[in-house]
Amino acid sequence: MTLPLLESHPDQLGGLDPTAIANCIDDCLACARACTVCADACLSEPSVAELAHCIRTDLDCADLCGATARILSRRTGTTAVLDALLQACAEACRACAEECEQHADHHRHCALCAEACRKCEDSCRQLREHLVGTA
């Protein structure tokens, strides 16, 4: 649904690939959802105190991914702002994936969250490369 919405906008993307933007938006939203579910699941674990850093990292990543998806959905961001945003989102995803991977053997929700984070990190980095190529 994201791609048709982007393509229906009267202000086209100035050389940016709408498919790359749509993929990044979708990956950011999926990652935000995975991180939110993971944080909530961590709160239900008996070892919740041991997962405090994971929970905080999940919530930070979810917030940044959500903001990135919303800003990418608009035409208001300058290339410099989008570049900084995508870099920050990719970094938050990397940090969250690394944290969740430490718990993945014992908590399936952490394994799934780490996968979503890695996918979003890659998507943000790819879109960032595309931005640099069009600037």
Q: What digits encode the pLDDT tens for the residues 72-124?
A: 998 766 788 999 999 999 999 999 999 999 999 999 999 999 999 999 999 99
Alpha-carbon Rg for the chain in angstroms = 16
- 54 burial level (CB within 10 Å; 0-12, 13-18, 19+): buried
- Full-model pTM: 0.93
Which residue in 130, 104, 115 sits closest to 31, CA to CA?
A: 115
Q: Which domains does the chain have, with CATH numbers?
A: 16-134 (1.20.1270.360)
